[in-house]
Amino acid sequence: MESLQKLRLFAEQMDLEPAEETQPGCAPNHIPLPMAGPTSQSLISNPHSPPLPCGASRPTNPKQQLGIYKAVAGGKTVPLLKTMLTSACERNCYYCPFRAGRNYRRATFKPEEMANTFMDMQRAGMVNGLFLSSGIIKGGASTQDKLLDTAEILRNKHDFRGYLHLKIMPGAERAQVERAMQLADRLSVNLEAPNTRRLQGLAPMKEFTEELVRPLQWIEEVRRNRPQYQGWNGRWPSTVTQFVVGAVGESDLELLSTSDYLYRQLRLGRTYFSAFRPIPDTPLEAQAAENPWREHRLYQASFLLRDYGFDMEEMPFDDDGKLPLAVDPKMGWAQRNLLEDPVEVNRADRESLLRVPGIGPRGAEAILRARRQGKLRDVNDLRQIGVVTTRLASFVLLDGHRPARQLRLL
């Protein structure tokens, strides 16, 4: 099989690996919201009505059919090749199209072949970054060696200096993880589930703590205890993970509790959420697809934890540990806490400003800068400094007064 045929075969399923793709609507103040009233119920009950989940891009154009996506990497937008060394796998994860025993056409790259194929594409101007994963063959350590061999060839033989995101395999050894930290800009370990019990329903051959969480702990130990110049390009790589959402009955509380630990204790750059959709010829093929709005809400809530100073206790969970679908979690919190106690924009600290719907980190910084020049007296003052004002009127005071609200036209 030719190299491009292999890439096309892998690309059919690579949208299951959300990574650095640029997607609209993946930040807490910019995700499209269902309208209030009956319309919201039709949107929520129909999983095809909302936009695609954040990070998901089904291959519809020639580049995506090879696994090439626009990605934000190192602060720049680059064409990123998302692919694998092999789609053969000895693990039997219940949701995965590459699971052992599934009737599916397999393909494999050797490290040298993968490196040469990527460099040919890079020289042709097609790509300038690589996200490299793999199925597991002959154990996680053996597979990790092949991933590292590919990275070594790219960095040392071809002198590739661009963006490289490597997957850490379940069962990888600590020395392999440390070597990956010297070669890659980003490393990822897919936890898949928020805890051991839920993982058993998704991937019974994987060990949650020893195989998945432990490598993330090793990475953070190295980042804390060894100088950055030992990492690739003078810095240690960032880390991310992914959860499969809605396949085994896990709650949003479970997913976000684990995310909160990862952000606070292991300094993960991001947790990705992938709304479950059934794959034929897998044990979960009869399981209903998860509503993409749930994925949106989880992204919003995780950004609140990571970037906005929110605590788990502030998330608007219901009694079953679920986030509301009809309203984003920041708006839900504001409706409970700020309608009767609005934030005075001219006196509030950064943390308080970030709790106002419509004000993100950039908006909060713009307000703090503008206040040094004088008072902000109306919403036009906020608009002039780049603050989105469409959602904040009910929750703020401007120089002691509530701003005028424009009623929604029905």
3-state per-residue secondary structure call for 74-119 = CCEEEEEEEEECECCCCCCCCCCCCCCCCCCCCCECCHHHHHHHHH
Q: What is the pTM of this model?
A: 0.88
User: Is there a single domain that holds both residue 382 and residue 247?
Assistant: no
Which helix (H) or strand (E) segment holds residue 178: the answer is helix 174-181
Q: Do residues 167 and 24 share a domain?
A: yes
Q: Which long-range contacts (CB under 8 A, 24 or more apart) does 225-230 make?
A: 230/182
- Which pLDDT value is given to residue 152? 98
Residue 207 sits in the same domain as residue 290: yes
Kindly list the distances between the CA atom of residue 245 and the CA atoms of 52, 96, 290, 294, 330, in Å, as whole numbers in the listed order.
14, 13, 7, 8, 20
CA dihedral 241, 244, 245, 248 (to 10 degrees): -130
Q: Say which DSSP state 184 is in.
A: -
Contacts of 58 (CB under 8 A, 6+ apart): 15, 52, 64
Mark whether 203 and 248 lie in a shared domain.
yes
Question: Structure tokens of 44?
Answer: 């929520």
CA distance 44 to 41: 5
Residues 6+ away with beta carbon under 8 Å from 401: none
Residue 320 lies in a domain: no
Q: Residue 327 falls within a domain, yes or no?
A: no
The answer to whether residues 309 and 366 belong to one domain is: no
Task: Give the span between the Cα atoms of 296 and 312, in whole angstroms.
Answer: 17
DSSP 129-166: EEEEE---SS-HHHHHHHHHHHHHIIIIIS---SEEEE
| Strands 343-344 vs 163-167: parallel, antiparallel or unpaired | unpaired
Residue 21 confidence (pLDDT): 67
Q: Residue 250: which of 199, 289, 208 has the closest Cα? A: 199
Would residue 306 count as lying in a domain? Answer: yes
The answer to whether 314 touches 301, Cβ cutoff 8 Å, is no
pLDDT in tens, the chain (410 residues): 799 999 999 999 888 888 886 553 344 433 333 323 333 333 333 333 444 444 444 445 677 889 999 998 878 899 999 999 999 999 999 999 999 999 989 999 999 999 999 999 999 999 999 999 999 999 999 999 999 999 999 999 999 999 999 999 999 999 999 999 999 999 999 999 999 999 999 999 999 999 999 999 999 999 999 999 999 999 999 999 999 999 999 999 999 999 999 999 999 999 999 999 999 999 999 999 999 999 999 999 999 999 999 999 999 999 999 999 999 999 999 999 999 999 999 999 999 999 999 999 999 999 999 999 999 999 999 999 999 899 999 999 998 998 876 544 34
What is the predicted pLDDT for the residue at 16? 84
Neighbours of 255 (CB within 10 A): 27
Cα-Cα end-to-end distance for the chain: 58
**DSSP β-bridge partners for residue 273:** 243
81 and 136 share a domain?
Answer: yes
Report yes or no: 134 and 145 within 8 Å, Cβ to Cβ.
no
Give me the domain span that covers residue 362: 338-397
Identify the CATH number of the domain in which residue 217 sits.
3.20.20.70
pLDDT of residue 149: 98
Same domain, 166 and 200: yes
